[in-house]
Structures are given as C-alpha cells and as structure tokens.
Structure 1
Amino acid sequence: ASVKKRLDQLTSIQFVIKLNENSKYFDCLLERFPNIKNSTSYTINEIDKISNHIHNLIKENIAPVKGLVLTGGKSTRMGRDKSELVYYKKSQKEHVKELLENNNLETFYSVQASSEKENEIHDIFLNLGPFGGVCSAFQKDPNSAWLVMATDVPFVNNELIQLLLQKRNPSKIATTVKGKNKEFPEPLITIYEPKAYGKLLAYLAQGYSCPRKMLINSDVEIIEVDDNLIRNINTPEEFEQVKKELNS
C-alpha cells in the first residue's frame, strides 16, 4: 500500500532490493514500470553489493571542480594589488592559475571590473569582497564545485592543491584547510560544493558576507596543514621577507 501511494514519486529507479530471491514484484509496479524486471536487483542481505552500487551512483553524480583565483582586492595594507606581486617570476595570479590548471581544473579569474575575457568572472555581487566573488562564480555555474584560491598565500604549492582535491568530501558543504595552530578554517583555500551556494545566499540575506562565518557554522571537511603553508602576506615588509625566504 505504501508503494502504491508513492508511485508518482518513483521517477528514476536505479535498482531494486528484494526481501529474498522469490519475492514477487507488486502488480502496481509492473503496471507502471513494465521493464522493472530488467532492472538490477539485490536481496536485502547483499549489503556489500548494494553499498558498492550506491557508491558508484554517487561518484557518477559528483559535481566537477573548477578553479577560481581571487584578484582585484583593495590590498590597503600592501598599497597595491597583491595578485600582481611577483614571487615566482610571474604575477601571483598567473602562478595560482597555473597551479590549478596543472591539476586539470578549468580556472577563472574573479575580477571586479570586467574586460570581457573568457577566463574572467565579473563580480556582480558588488562590494562584498571574496564572498561576492564566490557567489558570482556560482551564478555563472551553479552545478560545479569551485576551488577558491587567494593570491596572498605564496607558500601554497602543488602538493597542497592535490591534498585538497584528494581529501574532497562532496557530501559536505565544503572542503577546507586549517592551520594546525589556528582556530578557524581558511575560506580562501577551499572547495565549495554546489550546495554551498544556497547557504552563502542565506547568510547574505541575513546581512553576513563573511565566508569563514558560513564555514564555521556548516558541515565541512577540514584538512589540517602546516601553518606556514597558508601564511598570508599583507604588507610590503612581509612581501620583502618572503622574497628573501624563497631565494635563500
């Protein structure tokens, strides 16, 4: 009777679980889905087979990941655009984009003023900083996950990007990194899943535009890493110090 009541809700039968091999299909099912007998079926005791089938279905439906490099910040303390600083013989925004593209991610720059380049996403959520950049990326493609990268973390390397992708948990709102000695996660080295978009908009509706606040109050996967790997560089003095460290 419960199945009969819900026939209209059965829109995509992936497989059937029977009580035992001799269990018969209900007449209402056969009438509505004449080919149901050709569907993959398991008995209720075949736990491993059922689990593997579900696992494979989830893998098939995991959103692809795209890269987003945050540029164009005001960089008040630095006195100039931090994305244009050069640590590795090219601007940091180019370096970060290459890091992401080397991991097979289609990557875009998040920009405030659009020059209509194909690899740019114009920020349409004005004056919200990185929060607006992430939301703008989701508006462009809400069905992809976005690996968001800041440009003021010059010690982020290929190994960290790979770790983030390997440890990604698509069942969570996001997968993020946190320094081992830090209290909070780093929202600008994070993979945001498609479901994060609605959560971000809900926070915005309440007057909040801090992605870290959303992460702290959501179900996220946290990867602990060495603090120095995600060190922020915000002043000319810090910039000069990092260049000395990288050249030593």
Structure 2
Amino acid sequence: MADMHRHDPEPPPGPPRIEHRSGMADEMLREIAPLLAEEGIDLDDADGAPDLETLQAAMTRAIERQNMTLFTPVGHARELAAATLQAAIAAISDGDTAHAAAILEQAQPESPDNTAPTVAACIGLALGLLDDWLSGNDPHAPTALAQQTRLPAGHWLGERAATDILALARKRRAFRSLDTLMTRQGGQHMLYGSALALTATIRAWSLQSDTPVNGLTHHVH
C-alpha cells in the first residue's frame, strides 16, 4: 500500500510516460470535434478541410480548451473532487498518511458516468483554491497566509510538486502553469502534491485562526 510519508527524499520525477492505446487518436478527435466545429471545421467534410497549418492551430486551441474543462470541475464532479481532497487533508493532518494515499488513489483518470473523482478535477480544484488563498484574493483567508504556509516536516510523496505549487500559487500562477507542472511532475505526483499543498495551507490557516483543521476543510469546495 502506498504511503504519502516517505523515509527518504522523493526521487526526481522520471521522463513523461507515453501511453499508446488503440483508438486513442480517434477518441481524442471525437472529444474535440464539437470545439473544432465552433471554428467552422468539420472533420467529416474532406472537401472543406482547411490547410494543415490552420487545422493544427485549431486543434491546439481545442485541446487546450478540452484540458481546461477537465481541470475545472463543476457541479457533481466538483463535489466529488472536493470530498476527496477534504478527506485526504483530514487523514494527513491526523497522521494517517497511508489512508491519505488510499483516498487519493480513488481518483480516476476519467469518469464518464461522473461517479468517481478524477485526477484532473482534484488537481484543478486544488490549484485554483491555492491561487486565491495564497495570493490574498480570497477574503475568507487570513492575511499573511502565504508567508506562514510550510510543508509538513519530513519527506513526502508529491513534495517536489507541492513546493512548485505553493511557490506559483503565491503569485496566483499555479493554475495557469498546469501544463508545465504536469509535464515536469506527472499526474500522480501532482495529485499528491496538490493535496499536500492544500494540507499545509489549511494547517497554517488553522494556526492563524485558532480553528481546528476539520473546522476549515469546508473551504475546499
């Protein structure tokens, strides 16, 4: 069983893992087809196809919009992500780091029926909240929260990602740096790092406001 707390420093992230899955390209094209259609591009219309440069630019924009949707959960998807992060924060704060890892492992790469939290939703929600809290743009967050937030002592799975996230969130740039962070750290480390950064911030908030951690996790929503 995975444990977020490590006995030794976290090793540097490896190279990006390239996954080849049968039908992946067709699946991606189906997903972005409506976005391309908004730009007047019909993938089924061979006669009306634009030149390659125009098509590539449109596909790049469509993929960026698709990724933004995945990392910006709304409705039930946001509720699932929030509940997962709240539970992970509580487990880390209670010292049950193995349970925290088990909670985060429940997040799935995708959930077509919207019954499970997704990795992207958890990461996107966490980074958006941290941007607001640590940059002073959330009126509910204490002043000087950014200066007081430190990662828990010891070594952690996701600590490199969490360090990057906190540094960027203080400038309100964590969410907009998603592509760079995901490429550098990878999805799993970003998931753990997001939860770790949230926990560190909530614990600093707890100390500043003299409020128990479990009395603050409702801000993760």
Classify the TM-score, shorter chain.
0.3 to 0.5
Which one has the bigger helix percentage? 2
Larger radius of gyration: 1
The one of the two structures with greater contact order (alpha-carbon pairs below 8 A, sep at least 6) is 2
The two structures have a TM-score, normalised by structure 2, of: 0.32
